[in-house]
Every structure is written in C-alpha cells, then in structure tokens.
C-alpha cells in the first residue's frame, strides 16, 4: 500500500505540519496527497503558501501556552494529525551547547526535546477529553551511536542516554552519544512516548535530500563548478529524496487512522542500502557527465581535523548508523536503494544544475 492507494481514499485528510518552511515540511507541502489539506505552522520564516490551506504564524514550539492554544484550535478545525517537523537541525552549530552550564536552556534541547514534550502533552490533553488528534513526530538516525560495520539499527534497538553517577543526564559524554543534536532527539523521542504513546508515531529518517540543501545538492553544485573537492570514503549514509520521504510519511499518517491498522510506534525510513559520500559523488559525476577526477576520497578523521584547523569545528560523526527498514517494508512497500535515490534526485532536480 502506498500513499496513492490509501484504504480511505475518499476521506479528506486534514493535517497540520510544524516547521513547514524546513526541508521536510516543504516536501510535505509540495508532495501532499490529492485528498489532503495542510495547515502550516511557522515560527519565524514564512513558507511558500501554495498548496497550504492556512498558515499559522508565530508558532514557537517552546511556548507551552501558545502551543496548547493552537493545537486546540487545530482540532476544532478538523485537523486529525500534527506532523512535527520543527526542531534544531544544525548538527555542527549546536554541538558546543552540550558543554554549557545549562544545556537544557539552549536551542537544541528546547526545540528538539522540550518542544516535542509540549506538543505531545497538548495532543494527549485533547485525547483525554475525547478529541482524536494524533502526533507523527520526526526523528533521525542520529539517535544512535556508531554501530558494527554492516549491522543496521532496528526500531527495537535500545537508545542510550549518558548519565552520571547520580543518574542525571551527562550532556558532555560524547562516547555514549556522539552528537548533542542526537542526544536531544533521543530525549525528544522519549518525551513523546512518555506523554502520548497511545496516539503517536515516531519516524526516524537518514538524510532527506531536496532542493533546499543537503549532500546531494552540494555535490551537484560542486561538480557543476568543476573545481576539485573531497568526499569522505569511510562513513556510510542512506539518503532518500524528499519526495520519497514525503510519500512514506503520508502513508504512515494514513495508516494511523485506518481502523484496521491503528498504526503506532516507531518506523525507520531510509534507503535500503548504504553508500559513502564518495560513492554518492562518483555516481552524480557519472549522471552529470563530469569527470570523476575532481573528487578526492578522504577518511572521516581528516574531515574532522580540517574543520578544527579552519576554526569551524564539526560535531563527531559515527562511521555507521544505518537504519533497518524491514518493518516499514513489511507493512507498506519496498523503499528505493541508495543508487535509485540518486537517480530520482536527478529526475526531480537535475534541471537546477543544467541537466
């Protein structure tokens, strides 16, 4: 079953999307199903309004009173699901926050953890009153640390939260949790499940690639320029296009309301197989008709060291945090390979690079 062959095809789906101006939110807007209306929730940046039924401005996911007020109004307007794309996603930019005196007061924790908790609370309160509004919360492969090469993480694998001798979260522990961004996403997932397990789904993704930025766009731009550049050849990713991710999210959202399914829990959405950024760049070079010789492979440690020397330090990167998508494929449909995702990106966005 795909989002296009919904069991409830005749039913109009009223959906609200937080972070509608971000990469995933924008993809949901552009690739929404025919019988779905979207309300976009934004904090600062105004989104494209085409295909949106309504835009709610000044949606601050950390403002408990305002969030609860907005969620109540959405429910009154027949919204059945809130898809939570809001959050702090600057992996490198927030890494230093873990060493602050109060990490929980800063943007990554407030948006990724506290914001998720507030939204789940708001939905749970309405559910307790008899109003059925569900929550689809988006997360990331960054909730996991490095894995044994070749071994994928399943939805059942335990998330590890670093703690000190008192049991308090140790935000500075980079061994247990390599990135602060990843730690705040772990804690956000836990808050959603604690507050509204009976009405929520968590979808973990691995690198959503579209026209607003990301590895695929950067690679195409650099190949177009024709100047030499480097790519890591010992770290693995499993990226998908934003169109593929949007379809998967809408498919899960529909199943959440299917009376025969009542889908809940956690799902992984990524390419079926991993590639290194170097492998990805080579395939793009071939598709764009550019010489492979402009791309030089480097180890991950060299990339991290280069960032340190340039004064723009990078967050630690695990070598292998690939998601197992067997659960999604068993319940819905087969996801693309990493190679097919590259080809799909060229099909969708190649015209932006003269193809």
Q: How far is CA 96 from the centre of its chain?
A: 21
SS3 state at 156 = coil
Residue 224 pLDDT: 95
Supply the mean pLDDT for the chain.
94
Q: What is the rounded distance in angstroms from the CA atom of residue 61 to the CA atom of residue 59?
A: 6
What are the DSSP calls for 35-80, one per residue?
TEEEEEE-SSSPPP-TTEEEEE----TT-HHHHHHHHHHHHHTT--
Q: What is the DSSP letter of 204?
A: E
List the one residue out of 224, 237, 227 whose CA is nearest residue 321. 237
Using pLDDT thresholds of 50, 70 and 90, give the confidence band for residue 278. very high
State the burial class of residue 224 (Cβ atoms within 10 Å of its Cβ: 0-12, 13-18, 19+): middle
User: Is residue 231 within 8 Å of 284, Cβ to Cβ?
Assistant: no
Summarize the confidence of residues 185-194 as an average pLDDT.
98
**pLDDT at residue 49, as a whole number:** 72
pLDDT at 50: 74
Which residues have a Cβ under 8 Å from the Cβ of 345 and sit 6 or more positions away? Answer: 209, 216, 241
In the chain, where the domains are located: 3-207+241-270+322-336
Please give the pLDDT value at position 171.
97
Q: What's the rounded Cα separation, in Å, for the pair 119 and 106? A: 18
Neighbours of 299 (CB within 10 A): 13
Q: What's the pLDDT at 53?
A: 82
High-pLDDT (> 90) share of the chain, %: 88
Give dist(CA 21, CA 30) in Å, integer: 11
3-207+241-270+322-336 under CATH 3.10.310.30, yes or no: no
Rounded to whole angstroms, how far apart are CA atoms 20 and 76?
20
Positive or negative: CA dihedral 151, 154, 158, 162: positive
Report the 10 Å Cβ neighbour count for 346: 19
User: Between the CA of residue 111 and those of 55, 74, 83, 108, 188, what are the distances in Å?
Assistant: 20, 20, 15, 5, 9
Q: Is the pLDDT of residue 6 over 70?
A: no
pLDDT of amino acid 44: 73
Rounded to whole angstroms, what are the CA distances from 287 to 73, 138, 330, 335, 346?
48, 31, 32, 21, 8
Tokens of 9: 């095809």
Residues 205-231 have a mean pLDDT of 95
Helix axes 23-30, 242-257, angle to 10 degrees: 70
β-partners of residue 136 are: 83, 201
Mean pLDDT, residues 219-233: 97
Q: Is the pLDDT confidence value at 297 over 80? A: yes
């Amino acid at each position: 079953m795909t989002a296009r062959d919904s069991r409830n095809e005749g039913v109009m789906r009223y959906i609200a999307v937080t972070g509608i101006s971000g990469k995933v939110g924008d993809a949901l807007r552009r690739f929404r199903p025919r019988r779905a209306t979207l309300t976009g929730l934004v904090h600062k940046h105004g989104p494209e309004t085409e295909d949106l039924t309504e835009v709610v401005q000044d949606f601050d996911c950390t403002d408990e009173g305002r969030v609860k007020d907005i969620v109540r109004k959405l429910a009154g307007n027949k919204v059945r699901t809130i898809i939570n794309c809001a959050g702090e996603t600057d992996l490198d930019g927030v890494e230093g926050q873990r060493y602050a005196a109060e990490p929980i007061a800063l943007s990554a924790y407030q948006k990724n953890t506290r914001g998720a908790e507030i939204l789940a609370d708001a939905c749970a309160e309405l559910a307790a009153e008899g109003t059925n509004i569900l929550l689809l919360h988006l997360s990331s492969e960054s909730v996991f640390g490095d894995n044994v090469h070749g071994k994928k993480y399943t939805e059942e694998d335990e998330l590890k939260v670093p703690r000190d001798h008192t049991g308090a979260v140790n935000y500075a522990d980079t061994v247990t949790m390599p990135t602060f961004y990843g730690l705040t996403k772990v804690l956000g997932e836990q808050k959603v499940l604690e507050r509204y397990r009976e009405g929520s789904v968590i979808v973990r993704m691995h690198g959503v690639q579209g026209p607003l930025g990301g590895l695929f766009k950067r690679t195409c731009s650099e190949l177009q320029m024709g100047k030499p550049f480097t790519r890591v050849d010992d770290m693995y990713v499993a990226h998908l296009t934003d169109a593929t991710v949007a379809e998967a999210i809408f498919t899960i959202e529909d199943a959440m309301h299917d009376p025969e399914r009542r889908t809940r829990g956690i799902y992984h959405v990524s390419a079926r197989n991993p590639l290194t950024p170097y492998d990805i760049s080579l395939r793009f070079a071939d598709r764009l008709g550019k010489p492979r010789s402009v791309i030089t492979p480097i180890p991950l440690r060299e990339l991290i060291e280069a960032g340190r020397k340039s004064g723009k330090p990078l967050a630690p990167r695990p070598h292998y945090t690939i998601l197992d998508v067997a659960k999604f494929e068993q319940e819905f449909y087969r996801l693309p390979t990493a190679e097919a995702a590259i080809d799909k990106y060229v099909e969708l966005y190649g015209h932006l690079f003269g193809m």
